[in-house]
Amino acid sequence: MIIVIQCKDQVGLVASISVILAKNQLNIISMREHVDKTENLFFMRLNIDDSKDEILLESYIREVLPAGAIISINPKPSKKIIVMVSKEYHCLADILIRNYFGTFGATVQCVIGNHAILQEICQRFDMPFYHVSHEGISKAGFEDRFAAITDQYDTDYIVLAKFMRILSPCVVAKFPMRIINIHHSFLPAFIGANPYRQAFERGVKLIGATAHFVSNELDEGPIIAQQIIPVNHSFTAADMVQAGKEIETSVLAKALKLVFEDRVFVYNNKTVVFE
């Protein structure tokens, strides 16, 4: 059983929570906690023995927490997600394979693409694919068609697996901190389009990728995971793109695993991540 807690910090929280678990004969298998002293915020993730009465246990724990505490006991073990794509296949292919073999920690409900090019790979995995073209239609019209599809599903997260369109604030507001994007740059460097070209022209010696939650500010949402690799003068822009695809796939997979296992806490456009 997993317990996640986010609240104002105060002396004795760990002790108080531990006493409650002990009184209920619940063994702590693992525990991670962090305090942001600047914001006076407390974060905790516990893995404990299964409880016979989760509702009663939550009430006991809530009694010792400050007002306004956020607590979740035994969140859904398998999340439900919708994947959005454009033309690039590498991140989607990795997700579909993990989903097929049941190692993903989530269930992919469908894939939505603003191009039809990735429909064939989805068909190979018997994955529903919806082609919602952005051409010849307004952004609002495109997003209305997108919403008509997502409304058919009870979805926990939207994953932008190289979806190369900017979502409007109304879409972001509908899924607050539930849209996860993979950006082909080590943010905050090279925000926006063509980051590898920007990196090549700048002559950088490192390139990377960043998985983050989507906010209304382009590529500036809370960061979940990042990774870098070295490059040198011999790399062309095309070489950087090819190398970057490997990092993007790895970083997105890592970020999704962390989120699906309820290891990520979001606050003030930052994250606490218990790896």
Chosen CATH of 2-73 out of 3.40.50.620, 3.30.70.260, 3.40.50.720, 1.20.120.80: 3.30.70.260
Among 23, 47, 21, 49, which Cα is nearest to 33's?
47
Q: What is the predicted pLDDT for the residue at 198?
A: 72
Output DSSP code: residue 131. Answer: E
Catalytic residues: 219
User: Where does CATH 3.40.50.170 sit in the chain?
Assistant: 79-273
Domain 79-273 class, CATH top level: alpha beta
Write out pLDDT tens, residues 2-56: 999 999 999 999 999 999 999 999 999 999 999 999 999 999 999 999 888 999 9
Write out pLDDT tens, residues 126-182: 999 999 998 989 999 999 999 999 999 999 999 999 998 999 999 999 999 999 999
User: Where does CATH 3.30.70.260 sit in the chain?
Assistant: 2-73
Task: Using DSSP, state whether 234 is helix, strand or coil.
Answer: coil
Write down the pTM of the prediction: 0.91
Asked if 183 contacts 176 with a C-beta cutoff of 8 angstroms, the reply is: no
Write out pLDDT tens, residues 217-243: 877 899 999 998 888 888 887 887 777
- Angle between helices 13-23 and 54-63 in degrees, nearest 10: 150
- Indicate the burial class of 46 (C-beta count within 10 angstroms; 0-12, 13-18, 19 or more): buried
